[in-house]
Chains A and B, each alone.
Chain A
């Protein structure tokens, strides 16, 4: 969960690096509150009988809540000095409220945007802790201070 402070992985922003995962324990209360906060009236998120009739074991986590977990993961990495530029995601499997969802990330590229800023591309995955199934796959581009990666960085260009 977010504290607003960057996670201590700065030395890890190198291509191929696996970043520490973050777990999000979901609940029916959370899914209800998320529907309320986004004025989402779809019964699949609060009416268990309806969700079961649709073939699911319980009420579903909203696709945008999955997206919010990826967004939070990125902004926790950034702190206040970095910037989230792009986030793309696709929901591949459902998650039922009550599942613990784990977001993990791999650095796919690191490029200089300017002398003191770099753009890091991430491959993101969100999976169900109960069975390891991937619920969401995504990509992000974040811009961070170059000094965060200087330990492993070359002088300009692709690192």
Chain B
């Protein structure tokens, strides 16, 4: 599949449709591992006692942690992974699993409230806009998605706008 009317129609059908998923628990362990991987030694992320002394229930997640997790949960069986190793579910509603080249076009994160270890996280994803654009390598689509992250009480934690380029 290339950039054609069928793909545009599939994307347009997703515009404004919200998909909500329960992502599961943000554990202190996962936060501490993430901070260690980044090399960030901020004690709010790495030291539960320090975070509690500052009035938090437990460690806080570094700002882009929840947006950076590619797979929440166990992930698919090996036979279901694609040639490049990625999961078949691309978290891009309207984009087919193969035949389209997907490139990152940037991310804009708005931090509403801190994500504390112990949070049960959900994410609502919605395709916002589809724009056709000419490029030197032929037609391209610019697609913007909004991810809204909330806790179990429905309180907003973070919102991110992801832009992907399809060719």
Question: Could you list which residues of chain A lie within 8 angstroms of chain B, going by C-beta atoms?
Answer: 1-4, 24, 30, 33-34, 36-44, 47, 50, 62-65, 67-69, 71-72, 74-76, 80, 83-91
Determine if B154 is an interface residue (Cβ-Cβ < 8 Å). Answer: no
A36 to B108, CA, bound (A): 24
Known: A3-B41, A90-B107. 19 other contacts (CB 8 A): A2-B42, A4-B44, A24-B39, A30-B37, A33-B37, A34-B37, A37-B37, A38-B68, A39-B70, A41-B86, A42-B70, A42-B84, A44-B84, A67-B107, A69-B38, A71-B63, A72-B38, A80-B54, A84-B63
> Which residues of A sit under 8 angstroms from B62, Cβ to Cβ?
68, 71-72, 75
Stretch in contact with the other chain, from B14-22, B28-36, B135-143: B28-36
Given contacts A40-B71, A67-B64, A75-B63, contact A88 B107 (CB under 8 A): yes
B81: nearest chain-A partner, CB-CB: A41
Give the docked Cα–Cα distance between A38 and B68 (Å).
6
Please name all residues of chain B whose beta carbon is closer than 8 Å to the beta carbon of A41 when the two chains form the complex.
70-71, 75, 81, 85-87
Assess A4 versus B43: contact at CB under 8 Å? Given A39-B70, A67-B68, A71-B64.
yes
For B9, the chain A residues whose CB sits under 8 A away are none
Q: Please tell me if the beta carbons of B111 and A85 are within 8 angstroms of each other in the complex.
A: yes
- Residues on A with C-beta less than 8 A from B39 are 1-2, 24, 30, 72
Q: CA separation between A44 and B111, bound complex, in Å? A: 29
User: Bound state CA distance, A40 and B72, in angstroms?
Assistant: 10
Cα distance A24–B38 in the bound complex, in angstroms: 9
A95 to chain B, nearest CB (A): 14
Interface assignment of B10: CB less than 8 Å from any CB of chain A: no
Size of the chain B interface, CB-CB below 8 angstroms: 36
Find out whether the CB atom of A86 lies under 8 angstroms from the CB atom of B111: yes
Query: Which residues of the partner chain A approach B106 to less than 8 Å between Cβ atoms?
Result: 88-91
Query: When the two chains form their complex, are residues B42 and A42 in contact, meaning their CB atoms are under 8 A apart?
Result: no
- What is the CA–CA distance of A65 and B65 in the complex, to the nearest angstrom? 10
Whether A42 contacts B86 by the Cβ 8 Å rule is yes
Which of the listed residues A1, A47, A72, A85 has the most CB atoms from chain B within 10 Å of its own CB? Answer: A72
CB-contacts of B47-94 with A (<8 A): 54, 62-64, 67-72, 75, 81, 84-87
**A71–B110 Cα gap in the complex (Å)?**
12
Give the 10 A-B CB pairs with smallest separation, nearest first: A90-B106, A64-B68, A88-B108, A39-B71, A43-B85, A40-B70, A37-B37, A33-B37, A71-B63, A34-B37
